[in-house]
Chains A and B, each alone.
Chain A
């Protein structure tokens, strides 16, 4: 079966750095997405990785290792507004998005 694992919940301090991991086992791979979702809102796109390595975009970076079936989202200089759920999703060989359950990130002052 297809499976995506990410931690259920994480807590971090304002101004700090946090890394949210995602491991996947899917039938084929056509890219991995990270989305941010605030409570009661639709997800918003953060990043897309299809090749191994680190993609940096401002305070957010995303890393991919296809051989390990592993990705992480790195958030720097955390702000209170970063409190949200972070969803990892993989595009499989049929170009279908397989979603992780999401990681709820709680930022404390």
Chain B
């Protein structure tokens, strides 16, 4: 099956700093990638849809200036958490469909802890 990787798998940063998370589709091209956030004991919450070559689409309530998304190529999307605060500590997961409506392939997730 298709493989999606994320880097880093976990990161600890200080409040006020920025953190970049990479999501790569390793063996297929993804014009669309999705970024999710999951707080402990809660379900996945879609943050934004990343579109190759165009601006990301953010879900209601997600600050686009705080969570910067760049989908520079067909295999790479990045999520930058700017000026991170402790409440941004969460599990961030990306996913990519292999076709328009197919199965989502998930990255392994990135656990962010902001101190």
Give the complex CA separation of A31 and B46 in angstroms.
18
* Closest chain B residue to A43, Cβ basis: B106
B54 at the interface (CB under 8 A from A): no
Residues of B contacting A48 in the complex (Cβ-Cβ under 8 angstroms) = 103
Q: How far is the CB of A7 from chain B (nearest CB, A)?
A: 13
Residues of B contacting A97 in the complex (Cβ-Cβ under 8 angstroms) = 34, 46, 104
Residues of B contacting A100 in the complex (Cβ-Cβ under 8 angstroms) = 43
Q: Are A95 and B101 in contact (CB under 8 A)?
A: yes
Give the complex CA separation of A96 and B109 in angstroms.
20
Interface size class of A (residues with CB under 8 A): 10 to 19
B44 at the interface (CB under 8 A from A): yes
Instruction: State which residues 86-115 of B face A: CB under 8 Å.
Output: 91, 93, 100-101, 103-109, 111
Q: How many residues of B contact A (CB 8 A)?
A: 19
Q: Are B103 and A99 in contact (CB under 8 A)?
A: no
Q: Are A87 and B93 in contact (CB under 8 A)?
A: no
Q: Are A95 and B100 in contact (CB under 8 A)?
A: yes
Q: Which of the residues B43, B103, B107 comes within 8 Å of A33, measured between beta carbons? A: B103
Give me the 6 closest cross-chain CB pairs, A-B, nearest first.
Answer: A42-B106, A101-B43, A42-B109, A102-B43, A42-B93, A99-B44
A residues lining the B interface (CB < 8 Å):
30-31, 33, 40-45, 48, 87, 91, 95-97, 99-102
B residues lining the A interface (CB < 8 Å):
34, 42-46, 49, 91, 93, 100-101, 103-109, 111
Q: Can you give 19 A-B contacts (C-beta < 8 A)? A: A30-B101, A33-B103, A40-B91, A40-B111, A41-B109, A42-B93, A43-B93, A44-B106, A45-B103, A87-B43, A95-B101, A96-B46, A96-B49, A97-B104, A99-B43, A99-B46, A100-B43, A101-B42, A102-B43
